[in-house]
Structure 1
Amino acid sequence: MRVPILLVFFPCLIFVKAQVPPPNVHLEKISTLYVPSRYNSHDYPEFKLGRHAAEQLAYDPAQKILYVTGEERLNVVDLSNPSDPIMLYRKQFVKMDPTDVEYCGNHVFVSVANDEKPEDGKVLVFRKYNRRHNTMPIVLEVVVGPSPNMLLPTINCQKVLVALEGEAFARGGNLIDPEGAIGLLKFPSSYISDTTYSYKVLDFRSFNDKYPILARSGVRYVYKENGNTLAQDLEPEHITFSADEKKAYISLQENNAIAEVDMVLETITDLRGLGFKDWTKYKLDPSDEDGGINIYPYPIYGMYQPDAIRTVTIGGREYIVTADEGDSKDYSGLKLTTSGFDETKRVRDITLANNSEVLQWARKRKIPSIQHDALLGKLSVSTQEGRLRDGTYDKLYSYGGRGFSVLRSDTMERIYDSGSIVEESHAMQYPKLFNSYAKSSVNITDTQDSRSDSKGPECESLAVAYSGTRVIVFVGCERPGTISIYSFNSNMTEGTLESIYSGAKTVLGTWGEAFDGGLLTDMDTDDIKYLPPFQSPTGQPLLVVTGSDTGTVSLFHVRGLDNRFQSNLFKAHLSQNQPLNLQQKPVQQAPVKVVKERNFFILFIAYVGCKAINLKKISTLYVPSSYSDTGTPLFSPKAKSSEQLAYDTQSKFVYVVGSSKLNVIDINDVENPQIIYHKMMGDFDPTDVEFCGDHVFVTLDDNQERERGRVVVFTKFDPKKKTMDTVLNVTVGPLPDMVQPSSDCRTVLIALEGKAFARNGELVDPEGGVGLLKFHDLSISAANYSYKRLDFTRYNDRWNSLSKTGVRFIYKEQNNKFSQDLEPEYISFSKDERKAYICLQENNAIAVVDLGTENITAIHGLGFKNWRNSKLDASDKDGGINIRPLPVYGMYQPDAIQVIKVNGEEYLVTSNEGGGKDYSDYKLNATGFSEEIRARDVSISENSEINQWMLQNNISNILDNSVLGRLVITTETGRLPDGSFDKLYTFGGRGFSIWKADTMALVYDSGSDVEDTHAQARPDLFNAQLKAGKKIKNTIDYRSDNKGPESESLAIGHDGDKILIFVGHERPGSISVYSVNGDISSPKFESVFWDIPNSEQTWTEAFEQRSISVIDPEDLKYISAKESPNGRPLLLVAGSVSGTLSILEVIGFNMVSATGAV
């Protein structure tokens, strides 16, 4: 019977088709490499099922190399051709068992258990594999403590956490149980050697007397004999960092807990129990003697006991995903003089208390023998939980959660539990492999259900990816070797199963025969790693999987992922688990509530704000670059006809300057903007425009007398008279670059860039300054103003001290003074307008103006960005996109700056475009100065940081064109007296930063995020440049050797308490959207916008066909819904190179709170 559907539509969703299922996220096998389990005496590889030849993995994205540990070896695998992975190298360990491997900073970190002396486990650090020399020299060997299980470096590689499991072992017939602990290995810089490290152990002893309290939350203290302390019983295993790396979380699997480490204080600050899973509310199959698959609720509790854990950050909140495998303590197999401890018993072998929860549940359902083997009798449970003083049991506790969970990282509150979906979905898709176990000599079908009595599927490994507004979670289950894929909403409370993959390609014959025939892979999926497109060898998302039992490394394409920046998928599930699949246009999603009402379902879609914030183009207006003699508008790319803009909230007119014109554009109809007036500026070049108090302020560069730039104030456009009258025309100084009125319009600041120019063959470099135009009252007129110029001359003798903070004095020839070299460009007021901040882009600094005393009170250098601790693509001759750490420094050199206020504190947001001084094309009598040079054309000093880095990373020629050779650097910083260079400094920070306004301390930098996200979203436009006759797709990577994306413009908006940061990038023309939701140190990437076709067109053809816009987004203006012509939040964009005004809608706002920026 068909169920009628009533849909209640709201604006956030547009459904176009029903009953068509969207494509699921699934895995498509590329290849499998079998790793030898051993080599015989003739060095011939041998392969055997169950030998754990491939356990843990790490990936080097620059070399496309995989490091795999297992069977006392570290293997190096080439993934350059994922269809044919090749074993390049192996390193054999003697009496040491590698337990984990990680790659960081061109080094490979390996934790090893010491077979002879278990207390002295080690961390070994190797240089990355050198293809030319086929070597991996060891850099450091550190004894870290007992049984290191996992290690994890921070992003900058300067801190490495080690989970010291401290598993019990036998020695001389006695049981030794070392304390579990966390090791902290530290390096003072990115230089790693055996002389530049420190190591300390963080222990759990402070928790020894807290166990009674901890037990209430589910923390387990299992082995208490022989005076064993809680610290000895605790066994740390898996590590994950918070997004800001200020905290780390460590799973204590057997103890059913997660520990929290404060990375700043270097202390274990908390130990949190994970509670228990009530299986009366879910379903499981607890027996291997019940004739097959029987999944039902039972009166038992599950101890979650996660193996792998991963942090996820989405929607401004952080979560921890846990793979709830389960595990017990069993020392019965150790060689002891007495019987070894084992906490496990079968349910049939224990005595239940007469009034126990278990028997009450069974009596209520008239089940005579709940302890029968076909029911609970065969299930393994713990003897350490639920036992009463008389030795009987009131409750039963089994191992593991048979699935996975999502916890809030701040409270450890469980907000999602997969329940019974893992067993149910396996039973449906792979019934003959249900809870099976790969045992070489046994028929595959005979092992069905064989692990139901223990921990079921044993979900052990995790990987996480982001897809549109969703989080994708990959869950590896040991039994029999599957990977389940789930998608989650942005608050991580609703999970949808997408697909399941199994490595068993047959159910015929024995497990050993299937393995020998190459039909068995990925059994015991011990480690999973997701490779996003910008890291992947194929440029597509991949999943790499180790199969411990099969000794395999498998590569998969991840198919069906949404575009990262816009979700196309919407799926609702009815209460009776029948899917209602609806397909949606690429717009945002809203929360869904499904209610069963008699014989139809009502689907309520509440418009409470769409999930991902992104930009959608409404319209683009091409602004004429000039007019013919007959008044016909003419258009040309790169004519800079649309440079800066201002908006009148009352009339809904936009004022745009460029190409010696001031244009008035009516945007009342946002879909059809119209130029209604233009004013030619003669031999003046307008550089900025602002609207304030019914007046339009325009700065003009005088092309004839460059020292005499002007500010002209017009009345706002009168649509009836078609006029704009001049109110004031005042000479302000050399090259006014920006004008900024205060909120009452009475104080107007002008950034006097004072850029050098040529006159009669000579170079003239005027002093940069800040103009202060004041009106005595609210009347703006030529009779009611004063003007003064604030200069930087007082700083001329302070250059040496300022240089230590990163301030640059570049052109010193012809006795040029520091005040002449400074070039003020962008202005932003503090919120109370008592201060103003002015960026000095080329000088890598920000000046502060006190508007009360009317003085420039400070110049703050911005320091430098160490690209060894981040990543960039430094070459246009490296075959494409290669984003990697390199030994260069970036000068931040912001263009735009904006002030924001968060939690009562003011911060500066800067877009770090970069800019060098180059007078080489000026018409001068002598050769013009230029500070720019290619890195290949300089001499590197013998003891430089660069040479040290080359040595550490086995790179023979760092100045090759494919590495650093093509990168444009400055000659004015990093050069030694002999002319060689100790350090290299390149222009710009290739992103944006946030600084504390009162101290100018850096609180956030986007690192490589801009290049990373561009590479993933539109690799065909990565660092591209508009080149007239070139095909768009053929200009990829053109600007990597210079300043990369050139982040240049900013706008700030508010969505309730959430601050939105819009960052415009010049190359080739994109806008990134980030949000700040309370934590200023960790902005969240939301989306990136382009308006450039993916086609065979040339840039010229695309311009002529009006299919491109937003190229070089020189100015951005956010308009709140309240002030918008259409009642929706907008972003106005002046595209300088494309000569366009674009109107973009900001999608994903909470419309109730989409107000203007504070």
Structure 2
Amino acid sequence: MIVARALLCLATFLVPGTLGFKTLNRASYTRLPTSINSNGADVFQGINYAAADGAAYDHINYIIYVIGTRNRLLHAIDVANPSSPLRILTHQFTEHEGNPQAVDVCGGRLAVALSAHVDVLEGHVQFFDVVARGSSVTDIHPDHTLAVGAHPKDLKHTPNCNMVLVANEGRPGKDDTNQYLNPEGSITVIVIDRNNDPTLRTIDFQQFNEGEANFNQNIRTPSRYIPKSVYSGTTTVAQDIEPESVVISNDGRYAWVTLLENDAVATLDLRTYQVTKVSPLPKKLWDTSPVDCSDLDGGVHRRTYAGLKSMRQPGKITLLQIGSKNYLITADVGGVTSYTSALHGFTWTDTITARSLVNSLMPDLVELKTQMTDNGFLGRLQVSTIEGNSLFDPRYTHVEMFGGRGFSVWDSTNMAAPTFDSEGTLEEYMDSYYHFLFNTDYAANRATTGSPANDRDTSSENQGAFVSGLDVMEDNGTVYMVAGTHGPGTLFLYMLNTVSTQPIPEFQSITRSGESEDIWNTLYTNKQLGDLRISDIGMIPSNQSPTGRPLVFVTATGSGSLGLYEIIDSTPIIPIVST
């Protein structure tokens, strides 16, 4: 087992007032079963079985709950000794109950969001009592099961535990009669009274439909571009809005919801149960910040492109309050919108290779045309078909890729521009410290022949090593943030300078667990795969930690694992860059 760590050595990145750096030290690694057989025994089928898709921490009992979406499992893991976690309980949801998508813990209550076995139908939220550490219970049973919107993707309690917000993504697909259905995206608000009895309210996005007072043509709605020759029906804005992740203010008055496919963030007033605004996010420019956009360029080649932009398309979102101001931090994931005959009854997508758009460029974009013709530059980059031109002129003035390949910090009252943008620095750190794993990712057809090292650069033409997990916390006056990448499974640790009126992330270290030279399947068998395809990150402050030291937990859907890390002091390491 190898846990590799690297720290930035340049003095310009030192945190003011400190003498050293912080880094992550892995305490333990737990591989979770991909299924349970009829005899109740664990089964480990392999990579990418979605055995660890999200987690929540109960700081009273030192238990982390981990959900597996595909296997419909919920695990309770005792982490009182972080170096030796103990799985004390596994609960199996039935097919009728659905597939767990999100989990949260608050005030002795465990909440799990479940999508229906037919994804377009209503989902549910189940509430359980938490498991007491040392308890002899072998299973748990829900106290309440409540119907919510279709495909509930995320849920969060308010800080006082009296309310739960559920982000219902409303994914389109076929219903149980094989008919196409596109449910509206929505937010379910569950209010829990002092007798622990819940009531529900639904917040929809119908006020943003065309013809309504709040219609905004700048809200990205890709499905409304489907040609009538492909799909003859009509898609409203409310149907095309797909809530992804939710965060709530410390006073419980406001919430913010990322709308990944729509490249926007919605603001909710929880006193009036209204969406007060949907804020389309500004584009990210790559004319001064280098980025690697090709998997066929012979290695790592980060370049600037004057005619290239990207949508941010935020996934995970977290919040930091400084004084009375709320700052949002978003993981700028990216994501295409695609329809297939099998799942939807027709075929359409909003993505295409940049090379395919060469003849549709404005004629004066000579340099961009040359770059888009070359597969070693932009030729294989996945770009949007519905950005960069207009209804009045089909020619493209620029091309836009999916996702920002990093994270952004926002003043919650002004989403017109981020207060901080990681730009291309995550790729820069990967290139400097993990050059041999730059933009690596797993592919099923490489399970027995490829390896993390051999498959370097394979995601550069898509969304790169995008941030798929993110969290922030304050611990004894220090604010930490961890961002985790999907394919490489790298963890970036920051300290946030809050001396000024705006938080400034200051890079501390980059960490990756696991080996890299053996083939993928061998690494999985030997429990050396690391945090492949990070799905969730949570941070545990010292006063809630079993050790009295700050901890980080990481779930990874590719490796089906739970990783535990300590934040420790460390000495800077000078990176050795190979070619």
What does residue 715 of structure 1 align with? 129
Matched residue of 1:665: which SS? strand
Q: Pick the structure with greater CA Rg.
A: 1
Distance (Å, rounded) in 2 between the aligned partners of 1:734 and 1:655: 23
Change over 3 Å in CA distance of 1:993–1:802 after alignment to 2 = farther
The answer on whether the counterparts of 1:621 and 1:1140 sit within 8 Å (CA) in structure 2 is yes
Distance (Å, rounded) in 2 between the aligned partners of 1:1006 and 1:802: 31
How far did 1:999 drift? Answer: 1.4
Matched residue of 1:1033: which SS? coil
How far did 1:1044 drift? Answer: 0.4
The answer on whether the counterparts of 2:442 and 2:452 sit within 8 Å (CA) in structure 1 is yes
Distance (Å, rounded) in 2 between the aligned partners of 1:798 and 1:869: 40
Determine whether 1:967 maps to 2:388: no
Name the aligned partner's letter for residue 785 of structure 1: P
Determine whether 1:786 maps to 2:199: yes
The answer on whether the counterparts of 2:207 and 2:213 sit within 8 Å (CA) in structure 1 is no
Determine whether 1:986 maps to 2:405: no
Among candidates 190, 194, 197, match of residue 773 of structure 1: 190
Change over 3 Å in CA distance of 1:798–1:1041 after alignment to 2 = farther
Name the aligned partner's letter for residue 400 of structure 2: Y
Distance (Å, rounded) in 1 between the aligned partners of 2:309 and 2:320: 27
Among candidates 870, 875, 888, match of residue 308 of structure 2: 888
Matched residue of 1:1002: which SS? coil
Change over 3 Å in CA distance of 1:944–1:1125 after alignment to 2 = farther
Among candidates 515, 519, 529, match of residue 1093 of structure 1: 515
What does residue 5 of structure 2 align with? none
How far did 1:627 drift? Answer: 1.6
The answer on whether the counterparts of 1:1129 and 1:1145 sit within 8 Å (CA) in structure 2 is yes
Determine whether 1:664 maps to 2:363: no
Name the aligned partner's letter for residue 43 of structure 2: L
The answer on whether the counterparts of 2:496 and 2:506 sit within 8 Å (CA) in structure 1 is yes
Q: TM-score, normalised by structure 1?
A: 0.45
Cα deviation per residue 1:953-994 (whole Å; 9 max; x = unaligned)? Answer: xx8443211111100011121234464322211100000000
What does residue 1043 of structure 1 align with? 463
The answer on whether the counterparts of 2:75 and 2:91 sit within 8 Å (CA) in structure 1 is yes
Name the aligned partner's letter for residue 295 of structure 2: D
How far did 1:1124 drift? Answer: 1.0
Change over 3 Å in CA distance of 1:1002–1:651 after alignment to 2 = same
Change over 3 Å in CA distance of 1:972–1:943 after alignment to 2 = closer
Cα deviation per residue 1:73-128 (whole Å; 9 max; x = unaligned)? Answer: xxxxxxxxxxxxxxxxxxxxxxxxxxxxxxxxxxxxxxxxxxxxxxxxxxxxxxxx
Identity of aligned residues (%): 26
Change over 3 Å in CA distance of 1:706–1:797 after alignment to 2 = closer
**1:1064-1143 maps to which residues of 2 (within 5 A)?**
1064-1078=484-498, 1079=500, 1080=502, 1082-1095=504-517, 1097-1143=518-564
**1:158-169 maps to which residues of 2 (within 5 A)?**
none
What does residue 6 of structure 2 align with? none
Among candidates 251, 255, 268, match of residue 836 of structure 1: 255
Name the aligned partner's letter for residue 673 of structure 1: P
What does residue 819 of structure 1 align with? 238
Matched residue of 1:797: which SS? coil
Determine whether 1:634 maps to 2:6: no
Among candidates 1017, 1022, 1026, match of residue 433 of structure 2: 1017
Among candidates 845, 848, 866, match of residue 285 of structure 2: 866
Q: TM-score, normalised by structure 2?
A: 0.88
Change over 3 Å in CA distance of 1:800–1:1022 after alignment to 2 = farther
Distance (Å, rounded) in 2 between the aligned partners of 1:903 and 1:655: 32
Determine whether 1:1144 maps to 2:557: no
What does residue 1003 of structure 1 align with? 419
Among candidates 122, 140, 143, match of residue 724 of structure 1: 140
The answer on whether the counterparts of 1:941 and 1:982 sit within 8 Å (CA) in structure 2 is no
The answer on whether the counterparts of 1:623 and 1:1140 sit within 8 Å (CA) in structure 2 is yes
Cα deviation per residue 1:558-579 (whole Å; 9 max; x = unaligned)? Answer: xxxxxxxxxxxxxxxxxxxxxx
What does residue 576 of structure 2 align with? none
Change over 3 Å in CA distance of 1:756–1:920 after alignment to 2 = same
**1:420-431 maps to which residues of 2 (within 5 A)?**
none
How far did 1:729 drift? Answer: 0.2
Aligned length: 537
Among candidates 49, 65, 68, match of residue 655 of structure 1: 65
Give the structure, 1 or 2, with the largest relative contact order (CA under 8 Å, sep 6 or more): 2
Determine whether 1:747 maps to 2:163: yes
Determine whether 1:315 maps to 2:14: yes
Matched residue of 2:338: which SS? coil
Cα deviation per residue 1:813-851 (whole Å; 9 max; x = unaligned)? Answer: 421001000000101112221100000011000001100
Among candidates 604, 615, 619, match of residue 28 of structure 2: 619
Distance (Å, rounded) in 2 between the aligned partners of 1:1146 and 1:723: 33
Matched residue of 1:1148: which SS? strand
Name the aligned partner's letter for residue 1083 of structure 1: P
The answer on whether the counterparts of 1:944 and 1:981 sit within 8 Å (CA) in structure 2 is no
Distance (Å, rounded) in 2 between the aligned partners of 1:1113 and 1:1059: 22
Cα deviation per residue 1:620-651 (whole Å; 9 max; x = unaligned)? Answer: 11110102222221112101111111111111
The answer on whether the counterparts of 1:1049 and 1:1063 sit within 8 Å (CA) in structure 2 is yes
How far did 1:691 drift? Answer: 0.7
Distance (Å, rounded) in 2 between the aligned partners of 1:776 and 1:893: 36
Distance (Å, rounded) in 2 between the aligned partners of 1:713 and 1:707: 20
Distance (Å, rounded) in 2 between the aligned partners of 1:1006 and 1:613: 19
What does residue 4 of structure 2 align with? none
How far did 1:776 drift? Answer: 2.3
Matched residue of 1:896: which SS? strand
How far did 1:1055 drift? Answer: 4.3
What does residue 604 of structure 1 align with? none
Cα deviation per residue 1:636-692 (whole Å; 9 max; x = unaligned)? Answer: 210111111111111111111112011111111211112111111111110001011
What does residue 677 of structure 1 align with? 89
How far did 1:932 drift? Answer: 1.4
The answer on whether the counterparts of 1:757 and 1:922 sit within 8 Å (CA) in structure 2 is no
Matched residue of 1:1035: which SS? coil
Distance (Å, rounded) in 2 between the aligned partners of 1:935 and 1:918: 17
Q: Which runs of 4+ in 1 moved over 6 A?
A: 798-802
Distance (Å, rounded) in 1 between the aligned partners of 2:479 and 2:161: 25
Structure 1: state its 5+ residue gaps.
1-310, 318-489, 492-590, 592-610, 1150-1158
Distance (Å, rounded) in 2 between the aligned partners of 1:1091 and 1:800: 51
How far did 1:1123 drift? Answer: 1.2
Select between 1101-1110 and 1075-1084 the one with higher mean Cα deviation. 1075-1084
The answer on whether the counterparts of 1:1116 and 1:1134 sit within 8 Å (CA) in structure 2 is yes
How far did 1:720 drift? Answer: 2.5
Distance (Å, rounded) in 1 between the aligned partners of 2:119 and 2:77: 30
Matched residue of 1:682: which SS? coil
Change over 3 Å in CA distance of 1:942–1:618 after alignment to 2 = closer
Distance (Å, rounded) in 2 between the aligned partners of 1:841 and 1:991: 14
Matched residue of 2:436: which SS? helix
How far did 1:939 drift? Answer: 3.8
How far did 1:1072 drift? Answer: 0.7
How large is the Cα RMSD of the aligned pairs? 2.1
Matched residue of 1:815: which SS? coil
Cα deviation per residue 1:727-773 (whole Å; 9 max; x = unaligned)? Answer: 11011110101111112211110000001112355432110000011
Cα deviation per residue 1:236-266 (whole Å; 9 max; x = unaligned)? Answer: xxxxxxxxxxxxxxxxxxxxxxxxxxxxxxx
Distance (Å, rounded) in 1 between the aligned partners of 2:136 and 2:343: 47
Cα deviation per residue 1:973-1026 (whole Å; 9 max; x = unaligned)? Answer: 123446432221110000000011111241110010000001111111111012
Determine whether 1:702 maps to 2:102: no
The answer on whether the counterparts of 1:795 and 1:819 sit within 8 Å (CA) in structure 2 is yes
Among candidates 855, 862, 871, match of residue 274 of structure 2: 855
Structure 2: state its 5+ residue gaps.
1-9, 227-232, 571-579
